Amino acid sequence: MAKVNISVTDEGDFIRSASRFDARITADGQSPWPVAADRYRLVVSLACPWASRALISRRLLGLESALSVAVADPIQDDASWRFTLDPQGRDPVLGISYLSEAYLAADPSYDGGVSVPAVVDIPSGMLVTNDYLRLTTDLATEWRAYHRPGAPDLYPRHLRAEIDAIVETIFDEVNNAVYEAGFATTQQAYSRAYHKLFARLDALSERLESQRYLVGDTITEADIRLFTTLVRFDAVYHGHFKCNRHKLSELPVLWAYARDLFQTPGFGDTVDFDHIKRHYYRVHTNINPTGVVPEGPDLSTWHTPHGRERLGGRPFGDGTPPSPIPEAVGRAYAALRD
């Protein structure tokens, strides 16, 4: 099992490390990494909210045939993310046992953390980027040549300023705030994160009471970024990270909003609660030293009616939902997650 290194300030506040590899894959030829089908492999953990953003975006945009995916074991060891879900413990495309091998191929002297999502150049085996903040907007904009017919515009130009502003707030006060609460090492640091988180959730509840989506009348990048925290809230953050003023299921507006997205093709069909719970409860031994994984919560409630249709909105705008996951692919995907 991995020994997770958490950085905190002298006051006990959690510090998130910046992405060390931030190259961009672009369509304009200005980057050494051009957009190309079948050249790159997206490495994810189904447990990780940052990686889940990329999985959702990839599915909504129909990039499955252009950008393949490697799924890491949710339980890390000291070498971090590993491919023990695959035969012989190696990713069948990259031929590596650990994601760290791609990091070292990019920089042999690298001795920092290994994170997902990560995009690896298949021919060279080198890590291109682990910049989770930028990756999904690039999938929405730079990879347009490979979007499926009817793909939604997840980052519409006329709404970008508004999307950028709200996702910055969501990152600071929701996505990262749950970690700040969970990894705080003083009561004061925990209290700051706790109150910041729930103040923002209250504000988001107020915003979403009268509109179906965060920005405009369609699903955008902003909704993806909020969803990946909300879907983990009751299973992990409420108990494990002590974000326990309320469960998500006790916040009527956000609970309905999250269920609406979960039941939208491309969202819930990328979620794996087993991987989520096993990762957090077994890897974070500083918080849960026994490694016991809780049985709950009841996941059937994610499929209950949400009533958000009354607010109108067009989930995919002028586009269409992604096709159902093909049965053969679905079986292989499910087997990989077991």
Domain finish residue from 126, 146, 166: 146
Which residues touch 313 (CB under 8 Å, ≥6 apart)? 211, 212, 213, 217, 218
The structure tokens listed for 89 are: 């413990």
Position 233 scores a pLDDT of 98
Yes or no: say if 182 and 241 are a contact pair by the CB < 8 Å rule.
yes
DSSP H or E run through 71 = strand 68-71
Q: Which amino acid is at 102?
A: A
Q: Which amino acid is at 271?
A: V
Which residues on adjacent β-strands are paired with residue 98? 82
Q: How confident is the model at residue 230 (pLDDT cuts 50, 70, 90)?
A: very high
What CATH number is attached to the domain comprising 53? 3.40.30.10
Span of 13-17, 101-105, 240-244 with lowest mean pLDDT: 13-17
What's the CA dihedral at 272, 240, 282, 129 to 10 degrees? 60
Expressed as residue numbers, the domain containing 97 is 7-146
Q: Is there a cis peptide before residue 326, judged by omega within 30 degrees of 0?
A: no
Q: Is the pTM of this model over 0.85?
A: yes
Is there a domain that residue 152 lies in?
Answer: no
- Name the residue among 219, 285, 296 with its Cα closest to residue 258: 219
**Model confidence over 152-205: pLDDT tens digits?**
999 999 999 999 999 999 999 999 999 999 999 999 999 999 999 999 999 999
Q: Are residues 167 and 87 in the same domain?
A: no
Position 117 scores a pLDDT of 97
Q: Are residues 131 and 167 in the same domain?
A: no
Span of 33-37, 176-180, 230-234, 327-331 with lowest mean pLDDT: 327-331
The structure tokens listed for 67 are: 């950008």
**Model confidence over 123-135: pLDDT tens digits?**
999 999 999 999 9
Domain finish residue from 121, 146, 171: 146
Is there a domain that residue 228 lies in?
Answer: yes
Q: What is the mean pLDDT of residues 197-216?
A: 98
Yes or no: say if 39 and 118 are a contact pair by the CB < 8 Å rule.
no
pLDDT above 50: residue 337: no
Position 331 scores a pLDDT of 45
Yes or no: say if 48 and 39 are a contact pair by the CB < 8 Å rule.
no
Structurally, how many domains does the chain consist of?
Answer: 2
Alpha-carbon gap, residue 249 to 234, rounded angstroms: 8
Q: What is the mean pLDDT of residues 318-335?
A: 68
Q: Are residues 198 and 170 in the same domain?
A: yes
Average pLDDT, the chain: 93
Q: Are residues 170 and 258 in the same domain?
A: yes
**Model confidence over 75-124: pLDDT tens digits?**
998 888 999 999 999 999 999 999 999 999 999 999 989 999 999 999 99
pLDDT above 70: residue 332: no
pLDDT above 90: residue 19: no
Residues tagged active-site: 48, 179
Domain finish residue from 146, 172, 202: 146
157: exposed, middle or buried (C-beta count within 10 Å: 0-12, 13-18, 19+)?
exposed
Q: Are residues 186 and 126 in the same domain?
A: no
pLDDT above 80: residue 6: no
Q: Which amino acid is at 75?
A: I
Q: How many helices (H) and strands (E) does the chain have?
A: 10, 8
Q: Is there a cis peptide before residue 297, judged by omega within 30 degrees of 0?
A: yes
Alpha-carbon gap, residue 263 to 306, rounded angstroms: 9
- Look-up of token digits 């705030």: 177
Q: Are residues 101 and 232 in the same domain?
A: no
Q: Are residues 172 and 302 in the same domain?
A: yes
Q: How confident is the model at residue 336 (pLDDT cuts 50, 70, 90)?
A: very low
The most distant pair of C-alpha atoms in the chain lies apart, rounded to whole Å, by: 56
- DSSP three-state, residue 10: coil
